[in-house]
Each structure stands twice: as structure tokens, then as C-alpha cells.
Structure 1
């Protein structure tokens, strides 16, 4: 695993160098910044503290269908247990004609006493390998379907006869725009969680194999200041399994 990460970074560096040498007008590298009131993910509350998230993307081919990069997040203050949320993820993704397939390496150090970025031991690693797939139908039927499977990591494992086995927690979601091309657009979503190997999964209350974990809607509008435009989203969600609800406000600055 460690060698794979080194290869990934080497490829990233080669592509950046290639971009500097190329004479094209369009940059193959870009990044964005989001500020959020909290961080929600698949019906889970990752942190209730305000946070910043940076997303970077590097095109690996001319059309941009293959990309790689990083996603990183950090809370502005500590949580109640005096630990702060920090996360860095690496990804590689293929996306074309509505189909998207990506492999993500998630590394969240919240509540981890001695985080080790190089630790991929199945019993102690805080990394999670996440296979992400989705399909966006056309404008005449703008349904989006998503299916994600956690492939590796002690955070999604269970003890069986003294050994850890992966649960392969799976998240599926369907989302559909209720209002579009309006001053405020509204998108509804329904997500469920289950495991491919085990009686429980990461996203629920730990009592059953299949349940609804992420139900809600996202409203989106654009704030304009002079020549600047800032997309703003307000997400309201319920996790029926964990019996929680949250509202999140997020602003994309660039």
C-alpha cells in the first residue's frame, strides 16, 4: 500500500511537470475551496464544527475523463473530546457520458492518538479504501444513482474468530431535482446502507444489515457581489437508522 501511494505521488508530479512544459491554454490542474458549518457524509456527522475543504483535480488525459487529486478537510476548532477533525484523501477517477468510477483512499485522523499516514495494516490502519460509482441520466430524466463500497480498512471491519474481516459496507443513493433552473434549485435524495459481509454496516445504528441512513434535500442558490458569484447550498438530512438530523450550509468560494 505504501509503495502504491509513492507511485501515485510520482505520477502526480510527472503530470504537473508535463503541464508546465505543454503549450496549451487550458490548465490541466485546478482546485476549489468550500467553507461549511459542519461536515456530513452519507448520513454520518463527521464533525459538527465549522470546517474548510479543499478539492484538487488533475487531468490525466486530454479529454479530462481520467482525473486524480486530493480532497482535504480541517475543522476550525476542536470537538467536544478536545480533538480536531483533519482529513486528507487521495483519489483516481474515470468519468464520461454520465458514468463515474473512482477509487478513494480516505484518511481521517479525528480521535486517532498517533495517526500514521503509512500504516495500512488491516488490524490498525485508519485508512479506508472506497470504491465509488455513479450514473447521471440525461436532462430529460435527470435521475442520479450512486453505489459505493468500502473495500479495506479496520474502521469497517469486524472480529471473526479472533481475526478481522471486512464488512464491505455499501452505500446506495438515488437523487432527483425537484426544482431546477430557478432562483433556488432543490434536489432530493434517499440513501441506504448495508454490508456485503456481516450483520451490520458503517452507516447505521449497528443493529441491522439494511436500513435508510440518509434522507433529505439540498437547496442551491448563487450569491453575487459585484462581478463575483458564490454558489451556496443548504442541506437538510435525516438518518432514520441513527435517529439524527442535521442542517449544513456550504459556500463555494472558487
Structure 2
């Protein structure tokens, strides 16, 4: 009887631990009319992206994940595809993380920078980013966004690391209404004293990202979909784009 109770307790404990592990695993799917990121038009074509992540703590603050994007058609003769790996710690007030970014769109098939396993800092197509954000306070929810590229595919003509850096501000000017509205503005520079890949690559400092994002829930077949509309300008590149995006789950 005693052995039976011990086995039963062990089985229940194992099931409980397994359930906790399953709850830490998650994935999300989004659709976008194009892909805009920190003032860069990554692709002008419609795309979908998936985020597969696993929480390493019970509060689900620390996550290990894979983010991938794929174009839903060809744009200018190219098909967009990207895969990134990340480790990120995030709360409502602040977060830090490291990303390994690999966008092979338009790369020559047999080139070294198109090799997913090549991590040589002089030839790799991977780019490593350190990212962080900070929200000042609930009464003044200004969000500071920061990122620095520190390894890989961010090289100048001599093959040296540029350390492209982005700093941005995001502020919700309308919140908790039928339509929410955020405004944002960001600048970029190279920590090595040269240009960054965010701008036109002619100046040491550029305003590269400014615009607004309106968001609301749209009811479709009884299901509420979060939908956003963004207007973005990159003064450095003299570009402007609009985007419609939704998170399906």
C-alpha cells in the first residue's frame, strides 16, 4: 500500500510538472501588409510572422524564442524570409535581451553570408543585437527603446563593426478608448563614429523613424482581432510607408 501511494504521488507530481512545462510554451501568429522596423522597410510585400517562445521562469518574464517572417508573395523579384533567435527578459516597465537576426532575402545562394551556420564576424549574414526598453511610470508612460548591433552583419567598407545604434521614444497620447493612438520618434548613429544601417549611410547621426500608430479591436465572426494602422516616415532615407497589421493569436 505504501509503495502504491508513493508511486501515485510521483505520478501526480510528474503530471503537474509536465502541465507547468506545457503552459510555458507558446506561439503567436501575425499578418502585416508590409514589414516596418525602426524606420526600415524590411519588405514592401504582405507577410506573416510567427513567434515560438518558451518561458524559463514561472512569471514568464524570461523567454527563449524563435521569431520568423515570410513573404506572402514576391516583391521586386525577391521573396522575403527571415529567422531570428532571442533571449529576452521583459516586464511591463522594462526589458533587456539579445537577438540573433538572419535575413537572407536577396542574398546570393552560395555566398558565405547566406550560410545559416556561418558565424564568422567578417563574413556572417547573422547580426547580433542588444535590445532594451524602459517605461518611465504609469502616470507618464513614455517608453524609451534602445538597440545596438554588436556582432556580424553590420560592417563598413573595411569590414569593421559599425555598432549601429537606435534610440527611440514612444508615447500613448490616447489610451483606453475605442481607438488608441501612439506617437513615436527615433534616431540612429554608429558607436564607432560612422553611419548606421538605419539611415542613408551618409551621416553620423540621423532621425530615421517618426510616425503614429492607431490601434483598436475589430470584431470578426464574434472574435476580437487587435488591428493596428501605422504611418511611418524615415527622413534620412526620404521614405514613408503605411502599414496594417493584426495578431491572429
TM-score relative to the length of structure 2? 0.89
Q: Residue 90 of structure 1 aligns with which residue? A: 85
Residues 123 and 223 of structure 1, relative CA distance in 2, 3 Å threshold:
same
Q: Residue 75 of structure 1 aligns with which residue? A: 71
- Please state if 1:146 is matched with 2:145: yes
Matches within 5 A, 1:10-89: 21-24=17-20, 27-80=23-76, 82-89=77-84
Q: Is the 8 A contact 1:215 1:239 kept in 2?
A: yes
Count of aligned residue pairs for this structure pair: 232
Residues 118 and 139 of structure 1, relative CA distance in 2, 3 Å threshold:
same
> Rg: which structure is higher?
2
Among 224, 229, 247, the alignment partner of 1:229 is 224
Q: Residue 119 of structure 2 aligns with which residue? A: 120
Unaligned stretches of 5+ in structure 1?
Answer: 1-17
The CA distance in 1 between the partners of 2:15 and 2:177, in whole Å, is 38
Q: Is the 8 A contact 1:93 1:102 kept in 2?
A: yes
Residues 98 and 122 of structure 1, relative CA distance in 2, 3 Å threshold:
same
Partner of 1:22: helix, strand, or coil? Answer: helix
The CA distance in 2 between the partners of 1:97 and 1:236, in whole Å, is 25
Q: Residue 132 of structure 1 aligns with which residue? A: 131
Q: Is the 8 A contact 1:19 1:28 kept in 2?
A: no
Q: Provide, for residues 52-86 of structure 1, a one-character-per-residue CA deviation record: whole Å limited to 9, x for no partner.
A: 01112210011212111111000011121x22110
Partner of 1:166: helix, strand, or coil? Answer: coil
Q: Residue 158 of structure 1 aligns with which residue? A: 156
The CA distance in 2 between the partners of 1:97 and 1:235, in whole Å, is 22
> 1:206 Cα shift?
1.2
Q: Is the 8 A contact 1:19 1:27 kept in 2?
A: no
Partner of 2:79: helix, strand, or coil? Answer: coil
